[in-house]
Structure 1
């Protein structure tokens, strides 16, 4: 099993989402010790989509300029990481009711026509299938699944768009209001996880 771990919290040692992501990965590896893990810390910084990248997205690779190929190189690598993974573990702190800008930057790099989704006469089709996704969501005040949670439904919709529909949410929500109780509930959910065969 190949696991891609994506962390997006701007915090490190004090990050609840990072802590729970690490515990989930430990659980998955305990179930399948031969697992390979790829770590991607998007909070360390990713470039935003710019004009050079956009201009290179819609032409054949052999027609791209050297500048366009360079602009797409990291995006190609990030897409390859997602394609190679059997399981994605995505750490999602809720910032201002939504996802961190760093995670949005990653999304903008991996949602690629012809690689992760296709244009069809009838609409669109996701090209990534047979992968399990865990969204490990942490929030200070927002209740996950409430009308103020724009992060979780956005990610579920976006992942479905590229073909990833087997998505499980593990949340530690409203930490500022409820203290340690949500962390305990998230840990119990992690203990119930069954790894992908």
Structure 2
């Protein structure tokens, strides 16, 4: 086999690649504002939760050291519980969301990843829409579920955030629902 040999039937034409790249770019641009907002919220909650856990561990260790000298384990448990409660209250309050170039770049990364996920669901809009509907209703039992979970973990998203993005992808599908119903009836 010679270098750069492309067997017949196993490659896309330059035009096919350009068309798909344009579709991905358009979908990415359409999803970027929503993806950036969701990532910003997810990053804040992830940072807050990790910070709270670290503070709680440090405070508990300090309390254990202090109270170990006094031999008062029940006090440690009570104080740890009060600290966890106060941290939960602080997390429930509104705080400014992260912003800036990093959040914007990660939001665009998320949008591009979701666009890629969308196109990997199937070869046609109808197949992608059906696969998306199955994922959103929990009927899917496919590798796509694992792929979506991996994507969510990479961007600190909850499954509800992923469903919100899937709904946005589904809405942008050029195949109206009535056409899908007609195609399935045939």
Query: When the two structures are superposed, what TM-score results if normalisation uses the length of structure 1?
Result: 0.27
Q: Which has the higher helix share?
A: 2
Is the strand fraction higher in 1 or 2? Answer: 1
| TM-score, reference length from structure 2 | 0.28
